[in-house]
Amino acid sequence: MIDYSFIWLISHSIIKFLKLKRTKFKKKLEKKIMKIEDNVYALESTKGSYSYLIKDKETILIDTGRPGKVKNILKEIDSLNINAKNIKHILLTHHDVDRIGNAVLLQKETGATLWASKEDIPYIFGDKSRPGVKKLGSLYAFLMRVKKPENIESYNDQKIDDIEIIRTPGHTPGHVSFLYKDVLFAGDLVRNSNGVLKKAPSIMNADEELIKDSIFKMSEYSFKWVCPCNGEPLEVKDEWKQLLNNI
Ligand SMILES: [Zn+2]
């Protein structure tokens, strides 16, 4: 005769164990995620080429990291108790592959609207080819099967939620930065090299003079945090002024 109470006990214990394991995994992941301000996070799974998440009236993802990170990005978002389906917008700072790597798959998973500048959209579709060393980026995108979007919106000069869109061309023709409260999402306008802000290297920039102008233009704004793609988010005091002296 089958002892159903024993089977129930075993299956109940297994479910309990799996739930506990999942909770521990979520807590571990949550600890690793860098909280910049109350509702701004740097996603650990994109470390080295950061994507950021803002949870305000709407949930917004800024950039999407190198290709192949979709699963881990979604796990991280889940660990913050955010339903990925609530992401309303994915904002791209520019067209480079480490920014758009997971954009299309994340757009499909979340149903979010994908945004980029009108100057950079032709590069995302491959209608314009990336110049110089960035040709390697296009090859990388091809090898990694980075998909092209079916729908993408171009920025007007409007705000999206409480995020100000600031045109900062130079690294790419349509590079933009975003200002949200005290936090500047700088894309590849600058990078953080061990606590020192530096301009993106010349070889990677479409127009050296334009990127310098864009860095100077950002001095008109006030912000406490600089969140770049490359290097860690940095709480700034005089670092932006020092950057101006060094470019
Ligand atoms: Zn870039």
CATH code (residue 60): 3.60.15.10
The Cα–Cα gap between 240 and 181 comes to 17
* Domain range for 79: 34-246
Cα(55) to ligand 1 centroid in Å equals 24
User: Is a pLDDT exceeding 90 seen at residue 111?
Assistant: yes
Q: How confident is the model at residue 143 (pLDDT cuts 50, 70, 90)?
A: confident
Spatial contact of 102 and 65, defined as CB atoms under 8 Å apart: yes
Domain membership flag for residue 17: no
pLDDT over 80 (residue 106): yes
Q: Is residue 242 part of a domain?
A: yes
Does pLDDT of 185 surpass 80?
yes
Q: Are 181 and 162 in contact (CB under 8 A)?
A: yes
pTM of the model: 0.85
Distance 35 CA to ligand 1 centre (A): 23
In a domain, 159, yes or no: yes
CA proximity to 166, closest of 213, 109, 111: 213
Average pLDDT score, the chain: 89
Burial class (CB in 10 A: 0-12, 13-18, 19+), 101: buried
The alpha carbon of 22 and the centre of ligand 1 are apart by a number of angstroms equal to: 35
Q: Report whether pLDDT(29) > 70.
A: no
Whether residue 144 lies inside any domain: the answer is: yes
Q: How many whole angstroms separate alpha carbon 170 and alpha carbon 162?
A: 25
Q: Is 229 inside a domain boundary?
A: yes
In a domain, 42, yes or no: yes
Calculate how far, in angstroms, residue 145's C-alpha sits from the geometric centre of ligand 1. Answer: 19
Find tokens 């500048």 and name the residue. Answer: 117
Question: Please, what's the b/e burial string for 11-38 (b: 16 or more CB within 10 A of its CB; e: otherwise)?
Answer: eeeeeeeeeeeeeeebeebbeebeebee
CB atoms within 10 A of CB 118: 13
Distance 96 CA to ligand 1 centre (A): 5
What is the domain count for the chain? 1
